[in-house]
Amino acid sequence: MLSLTREGLAVKIGKLFNKEGSSNALTAVGALRSKLSHSSLMHIAILMLILVIAATIRLLPLQWGVQLSEFDPHVHYRLTKYMVDNGFFAWTSWTDTMSWYPGGQNIAGAIYPGLAASAAFLYQIANALNLAPGPILSSELYHPLTADPVFNFCVFFPVIMATFTVLVMYFVAKDIGGKKVGLFAALFLALSSPFISRTSLGFFDDESVGILGILLFVFFFLRSIDPERSTKSTLAYSVAGGLSLGYLFASWGAARYPLGVTLIFVLAMIVLRRYSTKLLISYGTTFAVSLLIAINVPKLGVGFLVEPTVLAVAGMFLVLGTVEFSRRIADSKNKMMFVVGFLALIVVLFVAMSALGVVGELGQKFISVIFPGERIGTGGAHQLIQSVQEHQAATWASFYYDLGIGFFFVPLGLFFAVQNPTNRNIFITIFGLTSIYFADSFTRLSLIMAPAASILWALALVQVVKPFITILREDNNKAPRRKMRFRPRVGKEFSAGFIILLFVLMSVTFVLPGAEMADSGSTDSRVINRANSPTTIAASGLPFRMQIPDWLNMLNYMRTNLDSDTVVASWWDYGYWITAVGNKTTLIDNGTTNSTQIGVVGAMFMSNETEALKMLEDYDVTHVLVFTTFGKTSSSNTIYDSGYGDEGKWRWMARIAELDDMEFGNRTLGQDWFDTNDDGSVSDDELIDNELGQSTVLYKLMHYARDMAANGDTVVELEHFAEEYFSQQPGAIGWYTTSDGYFGEMVALYEVIYD
C-alpha cells in the first residue's frame, strides 16, 4: 500500500504547479489526444452523415405503423420468438404443426436460422440493457403483434443491419479505391433502391443480413491475400472470412453466389499467373471454416458437401495444390506432365462421382437463375417458380429505375477496374459482371447487384472527376511558361462546370422525382418513393400508397373469434399472415416447400363445390379464404376484375395443379373472348360465359363476396360454404378513388359446410 507524508505531498504539488512541471503536464495531456487532421475529421463526419441518412430513409415507413412488411418476415419473426422463449437451440427439434397441415413443417430443415438467431441474440442484449422497444398498444391501424416486444424489435432490426452494412461497404470500397471511393460507395449503397426495398423498416428477411455477410466475406478474403501481409495476418483474415461466409451459409440460400464468384476469381488468378502460396492458404482456410459451419446448419447438413458448387470448391483446392506442387518441379517437361496428369485425375474423379450418383443436385430455383431457360416447363415445380413475381426476368428499364445515372457509370467502372488489374479490381470486375447477369435473370437478385454497382459507380466517378479536381487545385501562376504553352488547355471554369453538371445529373436519381412518379402526381424521388411506401400488410398487399385495413381486420377477427383447431385453406400467398398474425393453422404458405400440396389446393379452387368438398375433408379444413380486388370507371357502374387478388392468380392455381387454364376461360376466369371482327379490342358481344370456369369454387367465392359488398345481394348460390366474415359490409363497400375511376377489394372468409 502506497502512502505519502505531508511533506512529500507538498513537494509533488509544488513540482506540478511550477513552470516546468506545468509545461510537462500540458505536454502529457496533449499527447493523449487523438491526432486527427482537419481532413480526417471531415471524412469521419461525412461517413457518420451517410450512416444517419441510411437509417433515416429506412425509418420512413414508420408513418404506416410498426409492422412487418411482405410475407416471409413473419415466419422469421415466429422463429425468433421461439428462440427467445425456448432457447437458441430449441428450434432444431421444432415441428410447426400450424404450417403445412396435417404433416406440419420441420423448421430446422426448412428455414435458415442465421437471421432469427442474430435478432434473438441482439434482442437479449438490448433487453438486458433496457434498450429493446416495448409493447405498442395504440396505433391508427391496429396490429395484434405490436404488444410483443420481440415483434417490435424484429421490425427495427433491418434498419440496424442496413446501417452497419453501409459502414462495411465503406471499408470494402476504401480498400479498392481509397477513401473517396469508400465514401461514395457507402452513399450509393445507402441510397440504392433495391437495397432499400429489402432493408427498410419491417423487411425482416434473410437479405437484411445477407448483403452484410457477403461484404464481410469480400473484405476479409481480399485482405487475406494481400502480398505484403504476414502469414499470421493471412491466417487471421482467412478465419474471419470463413466465419463470415459460414454465417452467410447459415442465413441465406444465396450464399452460393459469393462461393461461385470466388471460384471464378481464383481461376482468373491462376490464368493470369497471379498465383501465390498465400492464395492457397487463404482459400483453404476460408472454405474449411465456412463449410464446417455450413454442414452444421440443419437445412444444409453433410449432404451440402456433395452439391456441385461445393465439389467445385474442392476441385479448385486440388487445382491450387497442383499449381503449388508444380512450382517445386524444376524440369519443365516433368512439370507439364504432372499438371496435365493431375488435372485429368480430378476430371475423372468428378465424372466417376457423377456416374455413381454421389453428386447432389442444386435446387430448381438456383438452376433457374444460372440457366433462365430451365424455369420454362409444364410441371408444378416449374410453374410455381414462374408464378412468383420477383422470379421474373428483369428489363433494361428496371435496371435504369434502380440505378438512375449510375446505369452509365457502372460500365465505366468496369473499364477502370480492368485497366488496373489488381487483385481487388479483378474481384470487383467478376462480382459486377456476374451480379448483372443474375439480376437480369431474377428481378429479386438486383439486390446482389446493388453493392457491386455501388463500388463500380464510385470508382468511375472518382476516376472521371480526378483530373478536373487536379486542374482546380493547381496554381497556373507557378507553372513554367514553356510547359503551359504546349499543354492542351482545360480551364478551371470548364472543370468546375463539368463537376457541377455531373452532380446535378446525380441529383436526378437521388433528389428529383422520376418520370414514373411525376405521372402519378408524386413529388418524391426514386429513393424516397421506394422507401416511403406502406408495409405490405398495411396496404393489404396492394400497390397503393394508402392504408387499407381489410387484411388486418380479417386477421384480427381470425385471431380472436375462431377456435384454436381451425384449419384455413387459402392460396399460398397468404399463409404466413394467417399463421403468424391470425394465429391459425394453414395448409400451404409462402415457403412453397411442397409443390404437390400447393397443387392440391390449386385443384380444389379450380374444382366445383362437390369435388372440392372431398379434398377439403381429407385435410380437415374448416374455413376457406379468398381475396378479391375489383374496380369501376367513373362513367359506369360496371364492375371489372382488377387482377391484384385471386382473380389474377387463378391461372397459376390451374397450372401448378397441372390443369389447362384455358379451359376455364381464355380471357378471365369464367369468361371467353372471341375477336370476331379481328380489331384486337374487346366488345360486349364478343364475350361468352365459360360454364366450367363459373362453376369453380374460386369463381363462386370471389363473386359472391364481391356482389354482396357492392350490391348487398348476389345471384351466386353456395352449397357447401357459408359466410363467416367479410372485410367489407354488405352493400356498404368503401371505394377508393384512383386516376381512372374507383377501386375496391375485400378479404372473404367462408365456413365449410359438410353434409
Q: What's the rounded Cα separation, in Å, for the pair 594 and 602?
A: 13
Residue 428 contacts residue 456 (beta carbons within 8 Å): yes
Residue 641 contacts residue 668 (beta carbons within 8 Å): yes
Residue 203 has pLDDT above 60, yes or no: yes
What residue has cell string 404437390? 596
pLDDT (0 to 100) of residue 29: 47
pLDDT (0 to 100) of residue 225: 94
pLDDT (0 to 100) of residue 735: 81
Q: Is 563 exposed, middle or buried (0-12, 13-18, 19+ CB in 10 A)?
A: exposed
Q: What's the rounded Cα separation, in Å, for the pair 691 and 671?
A: 8
Residue 555 contacts residue 577 (beta carbons within 8 Å): yes
Instruction: Out of 82-91, 247-256, 389-398, pick the least confident.
Output: 389-398
pLDDT (0 to 100) of residue 528: 76
Residue 735 contacts residue 742 (beta carbons within 8 Å): yes
Mind giving me the DSSP string for 587-654?
S--TT---HHHHHHHHHHHTS-HHHHHHHHHHTT--EEEEEEEEEE-TT---EEE-SSSGGGTHHHHH
Residue 137 contacts residue 71 (beta carbons within 8 Å): no
Length of the chain (residues):
755
Give the CA dihedral 194, 195, 200, 202, nearest 10 degrees.
80
Residues 6 or more apart in contact with residue 272 via CB below 8 angstroms: 421, 426
pLDDT (0 to 100) of residue 299: 93
Residue 698 has pLDDT above 50, yes or no: yes
Residue 413 has pLDDT above 80, yes or no: yes
How many Cα neighbours within 13 Å face the side chain of 50? 25
* Cell numbers that stand for 503 in this block: 452532380
For residue 513, give the DSSP letter.
Answer: P
The residue with greater pLDDT, 378 or 421, is: 421
Closest-CA residue to 641 (of 661, 620, 667, 614): 667
Residue 297 contacts residue 111 (beta carbons within 8 Å): no
Please state the φ and ψ torsions of residue 624, each to the nearest 5 degrees: -125, 135
Would you give the distance in Å from CA 386 to the centre of its chain?
18
pLDDT (0 to 100) of residue 467: 80
Cross-strand partners of 687: 673
The residue with greater pLDDT, 458 or 499, is: 458
Cross-strand partners of 639: 632
Give the chain's largest Cα–Cα span.
Answer: 116
Q: Work out the pLDDT band at 17, boundaries 50, 70, 90.
A: very low
Residue 710 has pLDDT above 70, yes or no: yes
What residue has cell string 437451440? 89
pLDDT (0 to 100) of residue 11: 52
Three-state DSSP class for residue 188: helix
pLDDT (0 to 100) of residue 394: 58
What residue has cell string 433457374? 368
User: Given 3.90.320, 3.40.50, 3.30.70, 3.90.550, which CATH number is that of 550-752?
Assistant: 3.40.50
pLDDT digits (tens, 9 = 90+) for 387-408: 555 545 556 566 667 777 788 8
pLDDT (0 to 100) of residue 221: 96
pLDDT (0 to 100) of residue 485: 46
Q: Work out the pLDDT band at 32, boundaries 50, 70, 90.
A: very low
pLDDT (0 to 100) of residue 451: 94
Q: What's the rounded Cα separation, in Å, for the pair 595 and 588?
A: 9
- Average pLDDT rounded to a whole number, residues 562-577: 95
Q: What's the rounded Cα separation, in Å, for the pair 358 and 371?
A: 23
Instruction: Out of 5-14, 125-134, 150-159, 331-340, pick the least confident.
Output: 5-14
- Average pLDDT rounded to a whole number, residues 577-590: 96
> Long-range CB contacts (< 8 A, 24+ apart) of 637-646?
639/706, 639/710, 639/744, 641/668, 642/743, 642/745, 644/541, 644/542, 644/543, 644/745, 645/702, 645/745, 646/571, 646/605, 646/698, 646/702
Closest-CA residue to 543 (of 256, 87, 222, 197): 197
Q: What's the rounded Cα separation, in Å, for the pair 745 and 629?
A: 4
The residue with greater pLDDT, 47 or 542, is: 47
Q: What's the rounded Cα separation, in Å, for the pair 398 and 395?
A: 5
- Mean of the per-residue pLDDT values of the chain: 84
Element (H, E) at 632: strand 623-632
Q: What's the rounded Cα separation, in Å, for the pair 371 and 391?
A: 13
pLDDT (0 to 100) of residue 369: 60
- Average pLDDT rounded to a whole number, residues 562-590: 96
Q: Work out the pLDDT band at 234, boundaries 50, 70, 90.
A: very high
Q: Work out the pLDDT band at 335, boundaries 50, 70, 90.
A: low
Cis peptide, bond prior to residue 194, ω within 30 of zero: no
Which is it for the CA torsion 563, 564, 570, 576, positive or negative? positive
Q: What's the rounded Cα separation, in Å, for the pair 433 and 449?
A: 9
pLDDT (0 to 100) of residue 484: 45
* E strand segments, 533-582: 567-569
pLDDT (0 to 100) of residue 103: 92
Residue 239 has pLDDT above 50, yes or no: yes
Q: Work out the pLDDT band at 9, boundaries 50, 70, 90.
A: very low
How many Cα neighbours within 13 Å face the side chain of 62? 10
Residue 416 contacts residue 459 (beta carbons within 8 Å): yes
* Cell numbers that stand for 214 in this block: 457477403
Give the CA dihedral 188, 192, 195, 199, nearest 10 degrees.
90
pLDDT (0 to 100) of residue 579: 96
pLDDT digits (tens, 9 = 90+) for 440-494: 776 667 888 999 999 999 999 999 888 877 777 766 555 555 444 434 556 667 6
Q: What's the rounded Cα separation, in Å, for the pair 604 and 64?
A: 36
The residue with greater pLDDT, 673 or 478, is: 673
pLDDT (0 to 100) of residue 408: 85
pLDDT (0 to 100) of residue 246: 96
pLDDT (0 to 100) of residue 16: 47
pLDDT digits (tens, 9 = 90+) for 711-739: 888 899 999 999 999 998 887 787 887 76
Give the CA dihedral 543, 546, 548, 551, nearest 10 degrees.
50
pLDDT digits (tens, 9 = 90+) for 503-541: 777 776 666 665 455 444 555 666 777 777 888 888 888
Domain extents in the chain: 69-154, 206-360, 550-752
| Amino acid occupying residue 456 | L
- Average pLDDT rounded to a whole number, residues 580-591: 95
The residue with greater pLDDT, 350 or 235, is: 235
Q: Work out the pLDDT band at 499, boundaries 50, 70, 90.
A: confident
- Average pLDDT rounded to a whole number, residues 318-343: 75
Q: What percentage of the chain exceeds 90 in pLDDT?
A: 51
pLDDT (0 to 100) of residue 538: 84
pLDDT (0 to 100) of residue 486: 38
pLDDT (0 to 100) of residue 48: 95
Q: What's the rounded Cα separation, in Å, for the pair 43 and 549?
A: 46
* Cell numbers that stand for 726 in this block: 367479410
pLDDT (0 to 100) of residue 24: 58
pLDDT digits (tens, 9 = 90+) for 204-220: 999 999 999 999 999 99
Q: Work out the pLDDT band at 108, boundaries 50, 70, 90.
A: very high
Q: What's the rounded Cα separation, in Å, for the pair 67 and 552?
A: 11
Q: What's the rounded Cα separation, in Å, for the pair 443 and 389?
A: 8
The residue with greater pLDDT, 178 or 369, is: 178
Q: Work out the pLDDT band at 669, boundaries 50, 70, 90.
A: very high
